[in-house]
């Protein structure tokens, strides 16, 4: 190549390199601890989440005294304590998602893992203090505090407890020490409720074109007019029962709903039972016995499939 032409080429290359817009630097990967946590990353499998593992009792009740051991259910943890002349109930869970006009921003003063924020709910805000620990994907863990004395003047104490509970949960999440439920082989906590509602026998009660819709927790389901949930509760003396689906069950009405519940003892835990509750909502003008007749039909199809 002639010297003049070679010189021109080299000059052109030099100018192009000098004038080109530099490419942005590729950011270095963040560490796992710096990532914005989603709910599944923070809590693991929802259906086996032990909500009580998020509650450090000493931090939550402060100078109060626990009434009894926390109630660990499949979708929440309930802690009761007495402080002064007031009795408080702290419910941690369930997890929820979606828009709620009651949820508002809240300036939480404590430390939070990357990606987590806290909201407050204006629903019954004079008598219930509700905080929502919100993950990067919008899924929320609710914390609600009530007390026997519902005076609005005591709301500051309820909210102090709610903030302490949020701090407890945030600390457990940051330490990656979230626990799992310890369920025996026959536990109803291992049952997928939507699978039990996905039966043609329920078409009439639920609606032929309806499909089961699971809750985030994995322990409750709605199909049309039928809802079904599995939980843990206190072992109380039942009222009148009747045989439905091979189990003793209670039938009760509440407004337009007819509910059927049955219980299962938990081995080694005499003061707790697992509960299966299903309800059917009546259409406008439907007689109560018609709605309860549908609820009994659902129970007869669902209860035999429980372990």
- In a domain, residue 24? The reply is no
More confident residue, 168 or 21: 168
Q: Do residues 202 and 227 both lie within one domain?
A: yes
Q: In the prediction, which pLDDT does 286 show?
A: 65
- In a domain, residue 20? The reply is no
Q: Do residues 242 and 130 both lie within one domain?
A: no
Q: In the prediction, which pLDDT does 285 show?
A: 61
- In a domain, residue 31? The reply is no
The separation between the first and the last C-alpha atoms of the chain, rounded to the nearest angstrom, is: 87
User: Residue 100: which domain range?
Assistant: 39-175
Q: Do residues 254 and 221 both lie within one domain?
A: yes
Averaged pLDDT for residues 107-119: 96
- In a domain, residue 121? The reply is yes
Averaged pLDDT for residues 12-30: 33
How many domains is the chain partitioned into structurally?
Answer: 2
- In a domain, residue 25? The reply is no
Cα(188)–Cα(12) distance, integer angstroms: 76
Cα(71)–Cα(76) distance, integer angstroms: 8
Q: In the prediction, which pLDDT does 5 show?
A: 40
- In a domain, residue 19? The reply is no
Averaged pLDDT of the chain: 88
Cα(106)–Cα(286) distance, integer angstroms: 44
């Amino acid at each position: 190549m002639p010297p003049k032409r070679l010189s021109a080429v080299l000059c052109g290359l030099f100018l192009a390199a000098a004038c080109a817009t530099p490419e942005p630097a590729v950011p270095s990967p963040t560490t796992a601890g710096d990532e914005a946590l989603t709910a599944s990353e923070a809590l693991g499998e929802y259906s086996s989440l032990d909500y009580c593992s998020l509650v450090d009792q000493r931090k939550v009740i402060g100078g109060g005294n626990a009434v009894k051991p926390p109630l660990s259910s499949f979708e929440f943890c309930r802690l009761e304590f007495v402080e002064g002349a007031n009795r408080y109930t702290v419910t941690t869970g369930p997890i929820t998602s979606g828009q709620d006009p009651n949820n508002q921003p809240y300036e939480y003063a404590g430390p939070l893992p990357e990606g987590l924020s806290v909201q407050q709910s204006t629903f019954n805000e004079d008598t219930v203090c509700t905080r929502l620990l919100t993950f990067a994907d919008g899924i929320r863990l609710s914390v609600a505090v009530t007390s026997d004395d519902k005076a609005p003047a005591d709301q500051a104490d309820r909210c102090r407890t709610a903030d302490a509970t949020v701090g407890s949960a945030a600390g457990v999440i940051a330490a990656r020490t979230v626990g799992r439920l310890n369920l025996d082989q026959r536990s109803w906590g291992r049952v997928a409720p939507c699978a039990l509602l996905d039966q043609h026998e329920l078409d009439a009660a639920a609606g032929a074109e309806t499909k089961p819709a699971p809750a985030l927790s994995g322990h409750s389901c709605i199909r049309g007019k039928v809802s079904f949930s599995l939980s843990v509760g206190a072992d109380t003396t039942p009222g009148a029962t009747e045989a439905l689906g091979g189990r003793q069950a209670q039938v009760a009405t509440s407004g337009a709903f007819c509910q059927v519940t049955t219980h299962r003892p938990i081995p080694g835990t005499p003061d707790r039972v697992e509960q299966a509750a299903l309800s059917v909502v009546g259409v406008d003008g439907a007689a109560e016995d018609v709605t309860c007749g549908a609820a009994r039909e659902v129970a007869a199809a669902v209860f035999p499939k429980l372990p």
